[in-house]
Amino acid sequence: MHESRAHRRPSLRRRLLLLLLLPMLLLLLIDAVVTYGVALNYSNEVHDADLADDVRTLAQMFRSGKVSGDLPAEARFLIEYDPDSHNYYSVRSSRRGLLSGNGTFPEPPAPAPDAAPELFYSRLSGRTLRAASLSLRAPDDPGDVLTVTIAETLHDRQQRAREILLLAVPMQTILILGALSLMWLGINRGLRILQPLTDRLAAREHELEPITGEDVPVEILPLTRTIDGLFERLRAMLSLQERFIADAAHQLRTPLAGLRLHVDRARAAHDAATVHDALDHIDQLTQRTARTSTQLLALTRAQSPWTERSSHVPVDLARQIPQAVGQRVPEAIRAHIDLGYHGPAGPVWVLGDAPALQELLDNLIDNALRYAGRGARATVTLLPLPDGGVLLQVEDTGPGVSAEALERLGERFFRAPDAPAGGTGLGLAIVQQIAHRHGAQVAFGNAPEGGLRISVQFPAPAKS
C-alpha cells in the first residue's frame, strides 16, 4: 500500500492544478496586502476629515466667546473619549502660553490665523499621533493668536483597516476557490480532446502509420511527432528484417538444395572417387553458404537505421588501410595477384565508424582479388583532396566490366554476366550502403589499363 503511494504515477491534472494554485495563493497574499493598504488609506482619510471637523468645532467655541481659557469638563470628555484609543488636545496662546491641554507633544509652527486646519504626525510617550491644528485670533485680544490642536492615536484607524481586510479576504478566498474549481472542471473537459487520439490508437492492431492528424492539439504535437518518428524507425527496422529474411531465403535456397543433392549422391555412391567429389562440392557449397550469410548480415548492418552519423569518430585511413592490405597479401599471393598500396606518409583523417570502414575496404579488396584474375595487379590508393576530403580508390588490371554492367554495379545480388562463379552479388552493395552512411560518394569506372576502378570520395569533416 505504501509502495503504491510512493510510486504513484504523475498526473497532468494535479500538476496543472498545483501550477495554478501556487500563483493563486501568491495573488491572494498580494491582494491582502494591497487591500489592507487601500483600507488603511481610506480609514486615514475618514479620520483626518473627522479630526479636522473636531478642531474646527473647538476653534468655533473660542471664536464665539463661549470658552475663554480652560475647557469645560464636558468639552474635554467629548474630545478625550475613545473606547479603543486616546485623544489629546492643547490650546496655546501666542502671549500667555499653554491655556489648556491634556498632553504635551511636539507641534509644528502655528498655521496662519483663520487658515484651513493643518494635519501632521507627532509622537507622545513612544506612540505616533495624528494631529490637526488651527489658529484664530483671540476674541478678547485681537493681538493674541490662539492655536487649537487635537491629536489621536492610530489604533482606531488601523482597527478599521483590519476590519475591512477581514471582510474582504474571505470573499476573495471564496472567489479564488471558485476559480480553481472552474479551472479543474476546465482542465478535465480540455483533456477530453485527447480522447479521439486515444481511441484511434486503441483501434489499431499492427499499424505503424503516423498518428499526427488534424485533431491533435498543438500542445502535444511534439509528442505525437516524436511517436511518428519512432514508428518510422520501427517500420524501417521491420522492413529491413523482412528484406533480410527474403534475401536469406532466396540466396540460401540454391546452395542448401545443392548440399542435399550431393549428400544423397555421396550416400548412394559405391566408389571413393564419387564420394570424394561429392564432399568437395559440399565443401564449396558450405563455404558459399557461409559467405552468403556473412554478406547478408554485413549488408543488414550497413542498412541499419540505428547507426547515427553523430556517433562517428576520427579515423586515420592512412594507418587502417595499409594494415588491411597487408592482411590480404597472403590471399593475393595464392590468387597470383599483385596487391599494392599507395598513400601519404602522414595521417589522413575522416569521421566515421572504424569497423564499418574496415568492412567497406575488405569488400573492395575482395572484389578485386575475386574478379581481377591470375597475373593481374590490384592497387589501393589513398589521396587527400584540396577541399579537405579524401579519395579512396581500388583499381585492378583485370578484364573490367562492360558499360551496361557498370550502371548496375552496387545493386543487391547483381553480378556481371561474365563474372566467375562464387560471388554473392552483395559486396559492392555493402560498399554503397557503408559509403552512404558516411556521406561518401561511390563511382564505378574502367581503369586506363582496362580493369575496374572503384572510387569512394569522403567529404571534408564538418567544422564545429
What is the mean pLDDT of the segment spanning 217-223? 75
| Helix then strand then coil, % of the chain, to nearest 5 | 55, 20, 30
Grade residue 312 by pLDDT with cuts at 50, 70 and 90. Answer: confident
CB-based contacts of 411, cutoff 8 Å, min separation 6:
425, 429
Q: Which CATH number fits domain 218-302: 1.10.3720.10, 1.10.287.130, 3.40.50.300, 1.20.1630.10?
A: 1.10.287.130
Find the range with the poorest average confidence among 98-102, 121-125, 321-325, 424-428: 424-428
C-alpha 265 chain-centroid distance: 67
pLDDT > 80? residue 49: yes
pLDDT at 184: 81
pLDDT > 80? residue 414: no
324, 358 Cβ separation under 8 angstroms: yes
Grade residue 425 by pLDDT with cuts at 50, 70 and 90. Answer: low
- Amino acid of residue 428: L
What is the mean pLDDT of the segment spanning 105-125? 82
Question: Which cell numbers hold the place of 94?
Answer: 501666542
pLDDT > 70? residue 197: yes
pLDDT > 50? residue 18: yes
Percent of the chain with pLDDT over 70: 78
User: Distances in Å between the alpha carbon of 355 and those of 188, 317, 369, 434?
Assistant: 54, 12, 21, 10
End-to-end Cα spacing for the chain: 53
Q: Taking the domains of the chain in order of start, what are their residue ranges? A: 14-162, 218-302, 309-458
Q: What is the dihedral of CA 200, 205, 206, 208, to 10 degrees?
A: 10
SS3 284: helix
pTM across the whole model: 0.46
Q: How many CB atoms lie within 10 A of CB 292?
A: 21
CB-based contacts of 174, cutoff 8 Å, min separation 6:
none
The Cα–Cα gap between 392 and 384 comes to: 9
The Cα–Cα gap between 430 and 407 comes to: 16
Name the pairing type of β-strands 377-384 and 338-342. parallel
Grade residue 391 by pLDDT with cuts at 50, 70 and 90. Answer: very high
On the 0-12 / 13-18 / 19+ scale of CB atoms within 10 A, 417 is: exposed
Question: Which cell numbers hold the place of 40?
Answer: 488603511
Give the phi and the psi of residue 422 in degrees, each rounded to 5.
Answer: 115, -20
Selected residue with higher pLDDT from 49 and 10: 49
Question: For helices 317-334 and 354-371, what crossing angle results, to 10°?
Answer: 30
Question: Which cell numbers hold the place of 87?
Answer: 485623544
Question: Which cell numbers hold the place of 291?
Answer: 559467405
pLDDT tens profile 238-286: 765 666 565 555 556 656 777 777 788 778 777 888 778 778 777 776 7
Selected residue with higher pLDDT from 309 and 412: 412
DSSP-derived secondary structure for 91-155: EEETTTEEEEES-----PSPPPBTPPPEEEEEEETTEEEEEEEEEEEETTEEEEEEEEEEEEESH
Q: How many CB atoms lie within 10 A of CB 133?
A: 25
On the 0-12 / 13-18 / 19+ scale of CB atoms within 10 A, 421 is: exposed
CATH 3.30.565.10 fits 309-458, yes or no: yes
460, 438 Cβ separation under 8 angstroms: no
Q: What is the mean pLDDT of the chain?
A: 78
pLDDT > 70? residue 415: no
120 DSSP β-pair partners: 131
What is the mean pLDDT of the segment spanning 101-116? 77
Grade residue 457 by pLDDT with cuts at 50, 70 and 90. Answer: very high
Pick from 450, 309, 312, 332: which is nearest to 380 by CA? 332
Give the phi and the psi of residue 218 in degrees, each rounded to 5.
Answer: -60, -35
Q: What is the DSSP letter of 294?
A: H
Grade residue 456 by pLDDT with cuts at 50, 70 and 90. Answer: very high
For domain 14-162, the CATH architecture is 2-Layer Sandwich (3.30)
